[in-house]
Each structure stands twice: as structure tokens, then as C-alpha cells.
Structure 1
Amino acid sequence: MSFILYWWMKTEMRYLESLSSSRLPLSLVTICCVIMSYALCIGATIKKLIQKTIAVLAEPKRSAHTIIFVSPVMKGKWSCGVCRKEVDRDYGAYTCNVCSDYAVHTRCALRRDIWDGIELEGVPEEDKDIEAFERISDGIILHFSHGCHLKFETSGVYDENKFCQACTLSINEENCYICVECNFILHERCAYAPRKKVHPLHPHPLIQKAIDENPVFVCGVCLRISNGFIYQCANQDCNYILDVVCASASEPFDYQGHQHPLFLALDPNEKPICHICKSTEVQNVFNCIEVQCDFIICFKCATLPYLVRYKHDEHYLTFCRGDEASGSDWCELCEGKLAIGGKEGFYKCNDCCTTLHINCLLGLEPYSKPCETFPFNDGELRYQRNNSATRPICKDCNSRCQYPTFVVHTEDMVSYFICTFFNHP
């Protein structure tokens, strides 16, 4: 009997230690170790103590509401909102009072990369959504980012010279809102994007802003340069920012290049390899949770436009994996070969057999709008479209700039051209 009690207590202790990354209080350990003869009674007391301790309102990344520990969970089939594995209702879980279908394993909810460690017992939830725009009349809105009215337009024409101010991508036959007084444009989806949102990769709410000073920034997930709108952490002590494209990527993620929905459900101890770029230096990835499907894609590849127009092709080009390239494929722009089984994807038109490198088609900084000027040191930088008859010569590589955009650096009344101001290949 004593052996059974000892084994049971060891199991209980392992269970308790798994609930938190820190050690249990000494008093709790003492209770568990000393009063062995009352193991069953103590076990019940400990579980009540655990519930009292962790049944506090917490705000993990994947829930827009505070959640509380419940044991047992209501009847039904539950899957964890973090790891997507089955939840055993008898062991309890964190659940949401607002979302009836949301539950999280205790172990997952208390992961350091999920929870910021702040208990919210008795703390009221913050205000709900912040409206991004005011509806003036049918088809007319006043967006927070612009002082003039925006008019809804149904676009059926591709215009490579028109860019969304929020996501910086071109207007590809998409509905949009256009300023009635200037050339300010927003995609319909970007205009409707929430002003405040909870993102699964950050524990605090994010607020959308249209930045005016120092408009160039680095996205905290894909690490790309952008000069569009940002989603910035609402916590003043946190400098976390995302571009609009990465901020819009949520679970389940519907990636057009894969047949199953994708989730941020990979075990944090695993070292992922992106199936597109083959990179092992990625931290944030989407993965498939279907049985016998190990598809993984990093944020940088997942947020690239899947369909893109090229000025010399009447069809859309589709994003393809590097291992889909053949020995006869070459880039129409730079006339270089596509690396067979290479470490990056490429774009291809199946109708015209046109293929292009990502950088050649989108540029080295695909999320930087052209014709945007911003101060730099004692001068200024300006992104310019590379569509003139003569391509400029880059000051850094001494070659003609082959990418869709280049940078004009002006200082002391002198201007010179560079392919990119950041990460020149």
C-alpha cells in the first residue's frame, strides 16, 4: 500500500511541476512529502489549491478574451487552442466564457511564449473593438488614417502605379476606397481591418497606426522593411510592431499553396524547416496538423502574394516552391537560371511558361511603396519605380538596378541611386 501511495504522490508532483516553469512553493512540497499517510486527502486539497492559484483570468495570445481554469471541462470534444491536440476534460483546462468552443491545456496556457505571466483576477477586460472608420453615407467613409472622405470603388483594372497605403501592395482588380481629393487608396479589406486586435504571436493587444514620422520600419515577424501602416503593441513599455500583412495572418491560415488549413501549433522545442525557402533560422511558422502531413511555412513565405501580375503577361503568376523548378526554367527579367530544388520560391505563369525570381518580380523590399520620401540623417531617401527607358546605376554594386524599385538618396543637394538601402545582395 505504501508503495502505491508513494507512486501516486510522485505522479501528482510531476503533474504539478508540469503546470508551471517555476518550482512549486516550499510549503506545498512539504505538504506533499511529509503527510504521506493522508495522500488521497492531500491530493484533493492540492488540486483545490491549484485551481485557486491558476483559476485566474489570463490572456494568452490566441484568445481575444480573458480565460479561466475550469475542472472538469463541459462535456464534448475539445481541442487545445494552442497545440490543437485533444483536451481531456477530466484534467481541466482554461476556457473562455465568451467563446463557447475555446479551451487550452493548462500546460499550453502557461507556456512562457504564450502567457506574459500577468494574472488578471478581478481585472475587467479592456474596451472592445476600436472603430477604424466612420461611415458617412453609402460608399463613403472617413478612415482614421486620412482626413478626407474615401469613396468605395469597384476596380476591375490592374494598375501597377496604384498602391494601398496600408499594406503597400498594388491594386490588383480589387475593390478599394479612394480619396475624393487626393491619390490616397486603401484596399477594401485593409479599410475594414480592425483598429485593435489580438495577434497569436504576441501577448498584448496591438493598435493599428498610420505612421508619419520615421515611416520605415522592420516587421517583428517577417523582418521585412515596410513603409505602410503598423500594428503596434498597446503596452507603452513594449516596442513590438507588425506590418499589416503579417498582422492579418490568423488561425486557421488558409494558404492557397496547401490543401489543409494551417496553425501556429508547432512544439516550441522543435526546430522547424520552411518547406518553401528551406530556412532553419525561422521562429514563427504555420504548420499543418493533419495526420501524416508535415507541411511547414515561415511567415516570410506565407505572406508573399500568392498571385501577382507581371506587366508583360496578361495572366496572373502563381507562387511556386523552389523544388518545382525545372532545368529549363529561367528568369525572364534577369535571365538567370532558377535554382533547381533551390532555397527560395519563384513565380510562374502556367499559360505562358513565364518564370521570375521573387526579388526580380517584387523587388528587394516588396512592402515599401514607391514615391515615398522619408528623412535620413541630413538628407532623405525616396523609393522610385524602375520603369524608365534607362535603368540607373547603383552606387553600391556599380551595376544597373534590375529590380522594380530603387532608392534615391539625396544629401547636400546631391542625389545618387542604390538598388536598396537595406540588405543589398
Structure 2
Amino acid sequence: MNSAPLEKVAVAHIATDQPPDEASARDLDYGWQSGNQIELLENGEAYFPKVFDAMRQAQREILLETFILFEDKVGHELRDILVDAARRGVKVVASLDGFGCGELSPAFLAELAEAGVIVQMFDPASKTLGIRTNWFRRLHRKIVVVDARVGFIGGINFSADHLGDYGPEAKQDYAVQVVGPAVADLHHFALAQSGRKVRSRRGWRRRDRRPSPWTSADGDGLVRLIYRDNVQHRDDIEEAYIHALSKAQRRAVIANAYFFPGYRLLREIRNAARRGVHVQLIMQGQPDVLLAKLAARMLYDYLLKDGVVIHEYCQRPLHGKVALVDDDWSTVGSSNLDPLSLSLNLEANVLIRDRAFNQQLYERLDVLSKHHCQTMPENRTPRLWLWRLTVGFLVFHVMRHFPALTGWLPAHKPRLKPFESRAHDR
């Protein structure tokens, strides 16, 4: 396939560590929005039909951010939907990560661009000696907003490994569909991060009051968008976890694929258990990255001795990034609790204050912990305890200071760049 000229879809290079256009860092500090309907979507079987149906109904605009897009059956279906939407006049902006989407073929991307889809790559880089070197400060968010009226956010990428028929390596993951006032914030954020011009803070909350095709009843859930960047919102997601755990009274459940947080969050988890909160952690037992499991296990003794219950999910790789506290606080998003997500990557979560949603998420996680996990026993007299203590100490402090260590690497500013077919020819 010959690539069409891309001048019509090119945009100015945007330094993603700086808020673009009119969206200052202050503008991108979002508050709680009431009156929302939130639907939990578990795995690709629930997520892809909802997202694809919303895209097929799009009349004006589709904004998409994703870390991974593969050329498999899910990626091909997404491509066909976006191409069709663009050809019927819908404005489509697809912001893809240069590392996670680095294997997409020029032909795949060119087909999108030729149809009028604005394809943007975050920090693309060619391989060096066959190895990708753009590992850090990734665009790790997974956000879709359609017509500024329905939004999706979570941890699910556009790839077939989020479907059960993929096999034993299929991922266990979560996302949410949001309908209501909070979609205005998701829309504003996605526009600003993609480099589009956005209204000032005063103007962006104007509502589209037409009935939504995705819901027939008014919602009453509170939703707040939070995110981390490498400028003024470096710790927002971590602080949200710490604050919720500090207020916990009855229960707290955290299901997270890559768990190696800093000391402050670890201490808050431990302190909650000490004061009688039933704290459960659901970790990877069948990891897609072995180092993630080994690193998390270095923290087990510290947490188990104070009453934290730790489960390892063993049915398939856990990819979720969700948590709940007591009866009405929950979070779903893209952020793991490890140095990459908490200190380097661009991430986004939603906080949710809704009892019905909290209970639904709790029930789903309860099924995992009771039927598909092994529970870690507290080992009060571990063998080779001195060796474990020494290795644990070293790993803990290396990982804790990992973000600072990456500063020794050659500096560069990640940028969002328009797709140009010549840059992808190899």
C-alpha cells in the first residue's frame, strides 16, 4: 500500500512534559463530579464490545490513548472501526506509545492516516542493535472518549491477550465506562494531552444535554479524574491511595499487577492492618514478568507480620490496577504500584465514590481471592532468613531509588509526534 501524504494530519511536535495550548497545569487539576453512571468492565470480553459499539455510534469525535495496540484480531477490528469513522467525517485522534506500539507496521499506520485518522506516536525510537531503548517515561494511559459523551478508562490495551480464548497467558484486567458529567473532564484531559486546543477552565464544562445512547437512567456516582505526569502531578495517584488507606475503617482490597511501592504507601498499608482494617492484596502468581513477582515477594514479610492478607492470583497473568476501601471508595486505571508507574510513566485513574460500584468490584475480587488464588502464609521462622533479609534490603532500596537512577541515562524529552511513514520504513 502506498502511503498518502500526511501533511493534512500532521500536528506540531508537542513536548508532553509541558501542558499544551491553553491547558496549564492548574487547568488540569480536576475535582469530583456527581451524577455519573459507572460500569465495571472485566477483561476484553466486556470491554471491547462496549468500546467498539460506542465508536461505531460516534458522530463527531473519537479520542484514543493506549500503551499497546497489536496487529491481531482486536487491533484489526479497532483499525477498521476508526477508518470507517474517519471516512464518514468523525474526527479521530489516536495517540499511541512509541514503545508499546513500536512493532506496528507502516502499512497498518498508513491505512489509518490515509482515511483521515490523526495518528500520533509518543516518543518513537528506532531499535539499537535490535533492541528498543525508549523504555522509560512511557505513555501508559488507556483512555477512550467518544463524542464527549461516553468515556472509558482502565488498564486494558487493544490486544487479543486480554481475551480468554488467547490461552493461559490471557490477562485478567479491568476498566470502566463512565457516562455523565465526569466525561467532560476525561474529554478535556484527552484533548489537552493529544495537543488539541481546549477551552479555558471556565468554558470546558458546558454539557451536551441530548439523551445519551449509552444509558437510559440518571447516575449518581461521584467520579474524579487523577493522573501523574513528570511536571506538577508527579504524586497524585500515590497520594490518593495513601489518603484513602489512612481513612480506612473496615476493609481495603488492592489488586495490582506490578507491586513495589515506596515506603510511604507500604507503611500506610501496614498501619491500616495494625489498627484492625481487613487489608487484602491480590498480586501476580503467574506473572508475565518474573521480576515483578520476585520484587513483590521481597515485601511480603514486612506486610504479613502485621496482618495484611496476601493472595497470589494463579489462573492467568494479573494485569489489573484496581482498589477499594470500605464501602464507597474505589479506583480503576492504568497505574501500577511500582517505580515505573509511580515515578516515570504517564498514567491516569478515576476515583469513584459509589457504594453499588464498590460492592460490585469487591464481589469480583472476592471471587478471584477465594477461588483462583493461593494465600501466602506468614513464615515466622523462615529458612535462610539472613540471606532473604540481605537480598530483600538490596532489592527494596534499588527499586525505591530506581527513578533517580534512570536520571543517569542520556537525557531526552519524550514528545508526541505525528506518524510519518518514512520514519517507520526499515
Normalising by the smaller structure, the TM-score range is under 0.3
Higher RCO structure (Cα 8 Å, ≥6 apart): 2
Question: Where is the helix percentage greater, Structure 1 or Structure 2?
Answer: 2
* TM-score, length-scaled by structure 2: 0.22
Higher Rg: 1
* TM-score, length-scaled by structure 1: 0.22
